Amino acid sequence: MAAVPDSAGVDAGRDPAGVDAGRDPAGVVAGRADAQGYAADWARAVRRLGFVPLSVAETERLLLAHTIRLAQAVRAEPFTAHPAEEIGRALVEAHLTEPQALEWTLHALGATFGRRVLCDGERPADLAERIAAVQGGLAAGFARALRDRTFSQQERIARSAWQARDEVEQALRESEERFRAVFTGAAIGIGIAGVDGRIIDVNQAFADMLGYSIEELREINVAALFHADDAAGMWELYQELIEGKHDAARVEKRYHRKDGTVVWTDLAVSLIRHDGRPRFTVAMIEDITERYELQQRLRFQALHDPLTGLPNRTLFFETLGRVLDTADAGQRVGVCFLDLDGFKAINDSLGHDLGDRLLVMIGRRLAACVADHGHLVARMGGDEFVILVDGGDDTDDPVAVAEAALAAVAAPVHVGEHQLAVSASVGIVQCPASETTASELMKAADTTLYWAKAAGRGRWAVYDPERGARDIARSALVAGLPAALERGEFVLHYQPIVSLLEGTMLAVEALVRWEHPELGLIGPDRFIGLAEETGLIVRLGEWVLRQACEDAERWWREFPDARLVVSVNLAARQADEPAIVDTVADALQTSGLPAELLQLELTESAVMGSAGEPLRSLHRLAALGVRLAVDDFGTGYSNLAYLRRLPIHCLKLAGPFVEGIRADGTDVAADHRDERIVDALVRLAHALELWVTAEAVETGVQAERLRALRCDTGQGRYFGAPASADVITARLRGGALA
């Protein structure tokens, strides 16, 4: 900015009145120089006509200095217009460049300067000429300065623009270099393609992953990298991407390398838009082949049996579930549940290694024999295999499949040095897919397999729903037994055993009943067998024994003269228990019942099989003073020899013999035969000093005949049905009264 010259010392009028006059051109005092007034008018004009970056006072001060200098120049001898040129330049330097302001300046110089600023005596003779020269000089200086300034400003702004552009370009170049470095050096593959699918550029990693050179890939269209075996919808997804419906997509995609091998990639594609329109796609791929293969391997491992390589239980149930979910109406689905017979014995005798090798062989054969039909063979664990027969057509007969499987298994197997003959059992279930579930189907197959095993192994069995229902009811009872014992759902009924000679009640047989909360009172025929199978008979029997002893002790205490014996059944499993003697002794001691008032009934077969420990147990029981009876005598394979060896007190004649002694006499010959058998048995027993009790005595005639045959005691509906302990008590009381 130009300095504002100090006007002090300049030969100019300083009269305050002049200043005032200067503000009002109309009041110019003729003949008096008024530089200040002229400068003030000048300042006001330039401020009005253009932008002046100075305050009012600064502007006036600046222009007053110029006014005075112009006045000096006009008067100077010799005259020169040079100072006017400088003032023209100074005006430009002070930014007083508005054209209209210049116009005012030049006009005022010609019109009023001489008159207002120069005193009368100061005006040179050639004033007009000099003023014209000053105007010319000022204009020339102004124009030259303005041209210079314009040039320099234009130059500077252009330079600035280029510089700014350079900086931006430099930044872009650096940014481009950085991205180029990332692009070329990235470990992941990066590829850029147009929306027409033409590959524009790829980095080395991308090319390496696909086994092509960068140049080769630049010739390829993206479409060529899609394959029919891509996941469903992948091509459509790409189409939607380049149409701008998505901005990014991420998929697992396999590429076929140039050498034909496959590379699995994690592919992320982004859409690059320009002004909103899709322009490019950028694909970034990461080679995940190893991860993918590991995943596949893990998935295979999770779904296959490591020993045989067959599908495992998980895959089987997945497949079965899918078949059931997607089955057409009426489609039947079948399973063959196969289990090797006696595999445990092979394993135990030949070792697990051979056992495993056998399983591998069997698995291979099973897979081969159903492979043509595409059935799934799975190993469910151990030596269990299952074949899923899911075909919709009739040729998929599960029985045929089972027979093929049995045949495959039956062929001799060479394992190491051994030649093994193996058989298997198969449970077959087939039903409409809509009527079953996976778990129901497999439960039925399991049950059926058990039937095949029970029927003698080496065969197949087909599921029978009615038999299955019975099995289910039975197993429901089995499942409920332990809890029933704990909850006290069992009760004892007693059936009198009466002297045939005197008609008095000598004993009662304890018979257990199950007061089932839903099924009501259940007789022993429906659960004793189950309790024996499951082993629960031991606990149940002990409960019966203790309860019977307690009841009998009460009767003995209340009716000591009756000397009522309680007869308790002892199952074979119980008799085999080493602890049975201690249990009986404890029951007697706990209840306080005299040992001779307790009779234990054993079945003929239980006694017959007795040897070793059980036999010793019987002797020790007898030694306690407990009476022992053989139940259902004459129905088993009677080996009379044991009667000699065992400490038996009583024989209970089985019901059929007694039934034969009928009153109606329709089959006299048969009747006669039964009567002779009973007669012989009674004689035999008496010869051995054994008591004889006849069971199932229904009528008075039967009782009469038995008495005639000298049978000691009778038991049956004629003498009283099984009844609660209270009824027995009442009977004892009544008997006592009588």
Partner 1 sequence: MPDGLPTEIDLTRPSAARVYDYFLGGAHNFEIDRQLAEQIASMTPNLAATMRSGREFLRRAVRVLLDAGIDQFLDIGSGIPTVGNVHEVAQGVNPKARVVYVDIDPVAVAHSRELLAGNELTGVIHADLREPERILAETRQLGLIDFSRPMGILLAGVVHFIPDADGPEAILATLRAAAAPGSFLVVSHSTFEDQPQEMLDAQRLSARTATEITLRSRAQVTGFFGDWTVLEPGVVHMPLWRPDSPSEVDEHPERFGAFGGVARYDQPAG
The yes or no reply on residue 50 touching partner 1 (CB under 8 A) is yes
> 98 or 446: whose CB is closer to partner 1?
98
Buried b or exposed e, range 673-698, using 16+ CB within 10 angstroms: ebbebbeebbeebeeeebbbbbbbbb
The yes or no reply on residue 53 touching partner 1 (CB under 8 A) is yes
CB of 104 to partner 1, least distance (A): 15
The yes or no reply on residue 47 touching partner 1 (CB under 8 A) is yes
> 167 or 667: whose CB is closer to partner 1?
167
| Alpha-carbon span 493 to 512, nearest angstrom | 6
Burial class (CB in 10 A: 0-12, 13-18, 19+), 649: middle
Candidate ranges 91-99, 213-221, 222-230, 687-695; the one touching partner 1 (CB under 8 A) = 91-99
Whether residue 508 contacts residue 494, with contact meaning beta carbons closer than 8 Å, is answered with: yes
| Alpha-carbon span 38 to 29, nearest angstrom | 12
The interface mask with partner 1, positions 123-142, x = CB under 8 A, is --------------------
CB of 150 to partner 1, least distance (A): 4
- The residues facing 597 across adjacent strands are none
CB of 145 to partner 1, least distance (A): 12
The neighbour count for residue 176, using CB atoms within 10 Å, is: 12
Contact positions with partner 1 (CB under 8 A) in 557-596 = none
> 59 or 702: whose CB is closer to partner 1?
59
* Of the residues 17, 56, 231, 411, which one makes contact with partner 1 according to CB under 8 A: 56
The yes or no reply on residue 100 touching partner 1 (CB under 8 A) is no
> 48 or 683: whose CB is closer to partner 1?
48
Residues shown for the chain:
738
Judged by DSSP in three states, 242 sits in helix
Please provide the distance, in angstroms rounded to a whole number, between the alpha carbons at the two ends of the chain: 152
CB of 117 to partner 1, least distance (A): 23
CB of 158 to partner 1, least distance (A): 8
- The residues facing 265 across adjacent strands are 253, 287
CB of 48 to partner 1, least distance (A): 10
Left (φ > 0), alpha (ψ -120 to 50) or beta: where does 503 sit?
A: left
> 172 or 708: whose CB is closer to partner 1?
172
The yes or no reply on residue 55 touching partner 1 (CB under 8 A) is yes
Judged by DSSP in three states, 630 sits in strand
Give the helix ranges, DSSP H, for 9-50. Answer: 16-22, 35-49
Whether residue 188 contacts residue 285, with contact meaning beta carbons closer than 8 Å, is answered with: yes
Q: Which two tokens stand for residue 251?
A: 């998929």
* Of the residues 51, 224, 326, 455, which one makes contact with partner 1 according to CB under 8 A: 51
CB of 279 to partner 1, least distance (A): 17
Burial class (CB in 10 A: 0-12, 13-18, 19+), 355: buried
Contact positions with partner 1 (CB under 8 A) in 146-165 = 149-150, 153-154, 156-157, 159-161, 163-165
CB of 207 to partner 1, least distance (A): 30
Q: Which helix (H) or strand (E) holds 190?
A: strand 189-194
Q: What's 166's DSSP letter? A: H
Q: Which two tokens stand for residue 443?
A: 């439960």
> 159 or 557: whose CB is closer to partner 1?
159
Give the helix ranges, DSSP H, for 94-232. Answer: 99-108, 114-117, 127-185, 204-210, 214-218
CB of 204 to partner 1, least distance (A): 27
Contact positions with partner 1 (CB under 8 A) in 420-479 = none
| Alpha-carbon separation of residue 452 from 341, 462, 631 (angstroms) | 10, 8, 33
Q: Minimal CA–CA distance to 99: which of 134, 141, 148, 139?
A: 139
> 153 or 590: whose CB is closer to partner 1?
153
CB of 141 to partner 1, least distance (A): 18
> 53 or 665: whose CB is closer to partner 1?
53
Burial class (CB in 10 A: 0-12, 13-18, 19+), 338: buried
> 1 or 738: whose CB is closer to partner 1?
1
* Of the residues 76, 111, 128, 171, which one makes contact with partner 1 according to CB under 8 A: 171
CB of 51 to partner 1, least distance (A): 4
CB of 168 to partner 1, least distance (A): 5
Query: Which amino acid is it at 154?
Result: Q
Contact positions with partner 1 (CB under 8 A) in 669-688 = none
Candidate ranges 145-153, 195-203, 432-440, 563-571; the one touching partner 1 (CB under 8 A) = 145-153
The neighbour count for residue 477, using CB atoms within 10 Å, is: 18
| Alpha-carbon separation of residue 643 from 59, 329, 422, 610, 633 (angstroms) | 153, 67, 44, 12, 11
> 62 or 607: whose CB is closer to partner 1?
62
CB of 92 to partner 1, least distance (A): 10
* Of the residues 76, 172, 224, 663, which one makes contact with partner 1 according to CB under 8 A: 172
- Binding-residue total with partner 1 (CB under 8 A): 29
Q: Which residues of the chain form contacts with partner 1 (CB under 8 A)?
A: 1, 47, 50-51, 53-57, 95, 97-98, 149-150, 153-154, 156-157, 159-161, 163-165, 167-168, 171-172, 175
